[in-house]
Amino acid sequence: QVQLQQSGPGLVEPSQTLSLTCAISGDSVSNNGAAWNWIRQSPSRGLEWLGRTYYRSNWNNDYAVSVNSRITINPDTSKNQFSLHLRSVTPDDTAVYYCTSGWAFAIWSQGTMVTVSS
């Protein structure tokens, strides 16, 4: 049974980088048939898919246009996890952040409420 365990700070200062990690158990980040996503949810934006990483003979990423210039999602095969880095955050990036697997999301992490504030 696949499980996702998320970690990272709940408070980030404006203009800094938001960094979260999602540890995978029960599957491999390198699984050739899987995809690993980051999603956020806020009252103003609703549920918003941010991007994903996946392995198909080589590593690939897809990102939402709204964050494309600020986001990086990296796999870490040595630790079987993947990470989100969102640069130059503003209060508008305040949200609950989740990691998920697949395309229709049966598996979610527990979520992290991230507040952008000084």
Which residues would be at the binding site for another protein (CB under 8 A)?
37, 46-49, 52, 62, 64-65, 98, 103-106, 108-111
In the complex with another protein, the residue whose CB is nearer, 41 or 80, is 41
Q: How far is the CB of 110 from another protein (least distance, A)?
A: 7
Q: Are 100 and 39 in contact, with CB atoms under 8 Å apart?
A: yes
Minimum distance from residue 73 beta carbon to another protein (Å): 13
Residue 53 region by backbone torsions, left for phi larger than 0, else alpha for psi between -120 and 50, else beta: beta
CA-wise closest residue to 37 among 25, 46, 48: 48
Smallest distance, Å, CB 84 to another protein?
Answer: 15
